Amino acid sequence: MFKNILGKKKLSSTESKEVVELREKISKMNLTEMKSYVNNRISDLKVSSLGLVEVLNRLITEDEKTKKRYLQADDNDMKKKKAFDLVISIASNKQITLEVSDKIRVFIETYSDILKQYDHDNKQIYESRLKKALDTSLLNISKMSTIKMTSDFLDS
């Protein structure tokens, strides 16, 4: 009943091929392309909850070769701002799931030092904006589950 909201589902062999292709495409994207994907502006890719998870995984996980995360403390401010805006866009996306929300939480925890430094240096409030976006995403998931339960009740 809630597999879409929870974001965890078993994949068939054809779906797993699509997942591999999606991961490969997202792994080659820069921040601007990822934002276009999240906003559903790439014609050959439709935004999905799995894609949102992959985008967040790309931002969170360390590169196996370089042992560095996507964002570093010494990156330029524009790259940091784009990454923070991307996560805010993901939080407000209609394809949001609990798994995506959890990845957003991990992003905030992982980059808390960079967030604080960026906010201090640029007189911004991205840390609180990201936390508010996470709260909003969880509220949206709750509303979706309520609507789904009501719809299922009325259909039966």
* Sheet strands (E) in 64-154: none
pLDDT of residue 101: 96
Cβ count within 10 A of residue 114? 20
Q: What is the span of the domain harbouring residue 56?
A: 11-155
Residue 26 lies in a domain: yes
What average pLDDT does the segment 72-77 reach?
Answer: 94
pLDDT tens per residue, range 12-55: 566 688 889 999 999 999 999 999 999 999 888 899 999 999 99
Q: Which two tokens stand for residue 45?
A: 């890719």
Residue 155 has pLDDT above 90, yes or no: no
Q: What is the mean pLDDT of the chain?
A: 90
pLDDT of residue 64: 87
Residue 6 lies in a domain: no
Distance CA 124, CA 131 (A): 14
Residue 124 lies in a domain: yes
pTM of the model: 0.87
* DSSP H helices in 28-125: 31-38, 49-60, 77-91, 98-110, 112-122
The answer to whether 91 and 104 have CB atoms below 8 angstroms apart is yes
Residue 16 lies in a domain: yes
Q: How many domains is the chain built from?
A: 1
pLDDT of residue 4: 59
What average pLDDT does the segment 132-151 reach?
Answer: 93
pLDDT tens per residue, range 86-100: 999 999 999 999 999
Amino acid of residue 23: R
What average pLDDT does the segment 115-142 reach?
Answer: 95
Residue 2 lies in a domain: no
Residue 45 lies in a domain: yes
Residue 93 lies in a domain: yes
